[in-house]
Chains A and B, each alone.
Chain A
Amino acid sequence: MKQFMMIFIGADYTDLGLSPEEMQARMGKWFAWGNKMGEAGILKGGEALTPQIRRVAGKDRVVTDLTSAEVKEIVGGYYTVEAKDFDAVQEIAKDFPDYDLGGTVEIREIMVFDR
């Protein structure tokens, strides 16, 4: 078994102007998805991220504060899962709830170093 990270990229909920009803519906789908992975014992961890960004870049270490509204796409969170290979994670990622909001799931394998 290998460890993978599913990274969620897209517009931030704040900027989409979702209604309370829509938020509840979204949350229900996320909850169901998390439950499904949890029951299968593949979900290892994950976090949601706030939309505030402080970017430090370049050799001059230029600091910029950004909000989600200023960047088109933002990493909103991630899950780490245990799976056989990319194809298995791809299958899991099919249930990601926010494709209809233009969301993207990026699947990356967590690197294992030789001892």
Chain B
Amino acid sequence: METKLIDHLFRHHSGKMVSVLTRIFGLSNLEIIEDAVQDTFLKASISWRKQQPENLKAWLTQAAKNRVLDIFRKLKTTNKHLPELKNGTQTIAINDLFLDNEIEDAQLRMIFTACHPKLDPKDQIAFALKTISGFSAKEIASALLTKEETIKKRLSRARKVIKTKNLAFKIPQGNELPERIESVLNVIYLIFNEGFHSNKKDILIQKELCGEAIRLCKMLLKNKYTKTSDVYALFALMCFHSARLGAKINTENELLDLKTQDRNKWSFPLIQLGNVMMNKAVETENFSRYHYEAAIVGEHIKAPSFEQTNWDKILDWYKCLYQLNPTPSYLLTMAVVCLQSENYIKANYYFEQINPDDLAQRAYLFYGAKADYFDKTNNKKEALKAIDLALEKVTNKLEKEFLEKKKLAFL
């Protein structure tokens, strides 16, 4: 009997179990809960070696219910005040918490906890990936290109803040909700970008982080209070981006820009899904950055070839974004867009408003774009100067190779 397990079954289920058990025992017992869940999967992985149960999910859910009793016993010995769980209504209530819609509810509570504004943004990402997505500290570290020790510190800091600030395990309501959703979306998009822009050799890790971000976003869309137009817009945006994920790197593992990507490799189903989501997203008067960003990527996707891109429209969307949030990186992008439509005067207009130091580690992008500008306006000497500055600033290996190629073309 060959039964293929659903991809990430354990990981996703561990997130579910941690959330449901936290709903029962509270955030203050998170560590005990995480250990208990870890133990469940350990047992499953060993006892399923020879034979897998017929209904895997039912087995896992039953195991989680059994853990409820284990944890109760454990907490009893440390003499904490606990509700009685002998029989009757309490037990029935706990059974109900393992129904699908209640599991979803518990996971949403966990998402809002992880993305609580009282937590440091870096801790939010680590904590979300650990408790909701079921990643280990080691896996988070490798996905985020950080040391495992750093992640462990972030996790324990997050737990500490949750305890000392006494954060409630709930879905925020009323006036608080929109702003809390905004911070959830922010974390989700950060996770997505960690995957999408990581340029890590291992494409699998990129895809996993992107997939996880989409999964989190989907959870928000399942709840009638949290499925706002911004959530739809972010979902659409991530679909459009993900559609291009397979085309971003060629067989030699070199980074490809939009110009050289094979558009036939873009995923049509994801584009379609993105379009459906986008239609839902625009049922509003107030557009968020996700609306505009999705519109921009959508514009790229619509173009049959790079040359046929509607740059004017894209520039307009960037202007909207800049209005919403005036940052130098938008100015840089607008300059690049003008270069594409061969409007060099306007490109320069944007370049002149940028102080490269404001771009921090991304200053190399400024010099790279500047090099293009000088090249296009027949100023070889300045172009080479700029590309050397870009090479001086760049840290990522793939990006560096990309710039070196560009330099060779100038020579």
Binding site for B on A (CB under 8 A): 13-14, 17-24, 26-28, 30-31, 34-35, 46, 48, 77
Residues 1-18 of B, flagged 1 when their CB comes within 8 A of A and 0 if not, give: 110010011110110000
Q: Tell me if A46 and B136 are in contact (CB < 8 A).
A: no
| Contact in complex: A23, B10 (CB < 8 Å) | yes
Cα separation A21 to B138 with both chains bound (whole Å): 12
Known: A28-B5, A35-B2. A23 touches B49 (CB 8 A): no
Check B13 against A27 for contact (C-beta < 8 Å).
Answer: no
Q: Which residues of A contact B198 (CB under 8 A)?
A: none
Q: Could you tell me if B44 and A27 are in contact, using CB atoms closer than 8 angstroms?
A: yes
Chosen A-B contacts, 26 in total, with CB atoms closer than 8 Å, are: A13-B42, A13-B46, A14-B39, A17-B138, A18-B136, A19-B11, A19-B134, A19-B136, A19-B138, A20-B11, A20-B13, A20-B14, A20-B41, A20-B136, A21-B8, A21-B10, A21-B11, A23-B10, A23-B42, A23-B44, A24-B5, A30-B49, A31-B48, A34-B49, A48-B46, A48-B47
CB distance from A97 to the nearest CB of B (A): 9
Kindly list chain B residues whose C-beta atoms are within 8 Å of the C-beta of A30. Answer: 45, 49
* Residues in chain B near residue A27, CB distance under 8 A: 5, 44-46, 48-49
The distance in angstroms between the C-alpha atoms of A46 and B49, with both chains bound, is 11
Q: Which chain B residue lies CB-closest to A46?
A: B50
Pairwise interchain contact A31-B136, C-beta atoms closer than 8 A: no
Q: Which residues of A contact B135 (CB under 8 A)?
A: 19, 21
Q: Which residue of A lies closest to B2 (CB)?
A: A35
The answer to whether residues A14 and B42 also contact, given A24-B5, A24-B11 and a CB cut-off of 8 A, is yes
Q: Which residue of A lies closest to B47 (CB)?
A: A48
Across chains A and B, the number of contacting residue pairs, with CB separation under 8 Å, is: 66
Q: How far is the CB of B293 from chain A (nearest CB, A)?
A: 30
CB within 8 Å of A: which B1-38 residues? 1-2, 5, 8-11, 13-14, 38
B36 CB → nearest A CB, Å: 13
Q: Given known contacts A24-B11, A27-B45, A35-B1, what 5 new A-B pairs fall within 8 Å (CB)?
A: A21-B11, A22-B136, A27-B5, A46-B50, A48-B46
In the complex, what residue of chain B is closest to A49 when comparing beta carbons? B46
CB of B9 within 8 A of CB of A24, answer yes
Q: Is B136 touching A17 in the complex (CB atoms < 8 A)?
A: yes
Q: Give A20 to B134 CA distance when docked, in angstroms.
A: 7
> Within the complex, which residue of A13, A17, A34, A46 is in contact with B45, where a contact is CB–CB below 8 Å?
A13
Question: Chain B residue with minimal CB distance to A48?
Answer: B46
- The complex places the Cα of A34 from the Cα of B1 at a distance, in Å, of 11
- Answer yes or no: B139 CB below 8 A from chain A CBs: yes
* Candidate in B46, B47, B52 with the most chain A CB atoms within 10 angstroms: B46
Q: How far is the CA of A26 from the CA of B11 in the complex (A)?
A: 13
| Contact assessment for A23 and B41 in the assembled complex, using a CB-CB cutoff below 8 Å | yes
Residue of B nearest to A12 (CB): B42
Residues of B within 8 A of A18 (CB): 42, 136
B256 to chain A, nearest CB (A): 29
Residues in chain A near residue B50, CB distance under 8 A: 31, 34, 46
The 7 tightest CB contacts between A and B, nearest first, are A19-B136, A20-B10, A30-B49, A24-B10, A23-B45, A27-B45, A20-B14
